[in-house]
């Protein structure tokens, strides 16, 4: 198995060091920490990570702006927002800037590792609150003639997510597997990124 290169961009040194230590102890992971987006961007000139865990509130360049710059320069890098609060506006803007998911810092070490592995498999989580913002974003863009069109099934999945249904419940309701639900959510993220680029 190839080693997964993870970068953590987190300005609180104690938190950063703790997660770097944790991931470096975990089989199949190699992790480096950075205190600012600027430091990370400079380091990425020499070695590009597979996954970035990105704090939103960073000194200097914000996590959202850093996400935008990384995705512009290194489109294959996967970015997961790493935040204390489930601030829906900030998370939504980060996702629209190219992030593929988010996880709260309160998550357990096993949840964090699962989330990193999930994002690498093409999956990503989306809460009902974020899904409602995505629905609103597509509706507003459609009214302006700027929407990236979602397929009917993707609209169905997004609508059920916005209503608070869990992945398994969506699968049962639409007679599809959980892996197919995840695939649709991945496509919704891609459409959101594309729509943001058009805007």
143 and 192 within one domain: yes
Q: Residue 137 has what pLDDT?
A: 75
In the predicted model, residues of the chain with pLDDT beneath 70 are 1, 87, 125, 127, 141-148, 194-199
Q: Are 60 and 33 in contact (CB under 8 A)?
A: no
Q: Residue 96 has what pLDDT?
A: 82
CATH of the domain at 23: 3.40.50.2300
Token reading at 31: 């992790």
Boundaries of domain holding 152: 128-198
Token reading at 83: 């935040």
pLDDT per position as a tens digit, 29-46: 999 999 999 999 999 999
For the chain, the average pLDDT equals 85
104 and 14 within one domain: yes
Pairing of strands 29-34, 51-54: unpaired
Q: Residue 39 has what pLDDT?
A: 97
When divided into structural domains, the chain yields a total of 2
Give just the sign of the alpha carbon dihedral 86, 88, 192, 199.
Answer: negative
Q: Residue 4 has what pLDDT?
A: 94
CATH of the domain at 191: 1.10.10.10
Token reading at 8: 């953590």
């Amino acid at each position: 198995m190839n080693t997964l290169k993870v970068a953590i961009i987190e300005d609180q040194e104690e938190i950063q060091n703790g997660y770097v230590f944790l991931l470096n102890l975990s089989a199949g992971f190699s992790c480096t920490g950075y205190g600012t987006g600027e430091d990370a961007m400079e380091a990425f000139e020499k070695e590009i990570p597979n996954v970035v865990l990105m704090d939103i509130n960073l000194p200097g360049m914000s996590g959202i702006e850093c996400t935008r710059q990384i995705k512009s320069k290194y489109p294959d890098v996967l970015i997961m927002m790493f935040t204390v609060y489930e601030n829906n506006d900030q998370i939504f803007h980060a996702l629209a800037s190219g992030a593929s998911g988010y996880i709260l810092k309160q998550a357990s070490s096993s949840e964090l590792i699962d989330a990193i592995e999930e994002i690498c498999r093409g999956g990503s989580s989306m809460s009902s609150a974020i899904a409602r913002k995505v629905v609103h974003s597509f509706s507003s863009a459609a009214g302006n003639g700027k929407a990236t069109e979602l397929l009917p099934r993707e609209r169905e999945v997004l609508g059920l997510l916005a209503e608070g249904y869990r992945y398994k419940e969506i699968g049962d309701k639409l007679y599809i597997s959980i892996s197919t639900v995840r695939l649709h959510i991945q496509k919704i993220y891609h459409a959101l990124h594309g729509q943001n680029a058009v805007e």
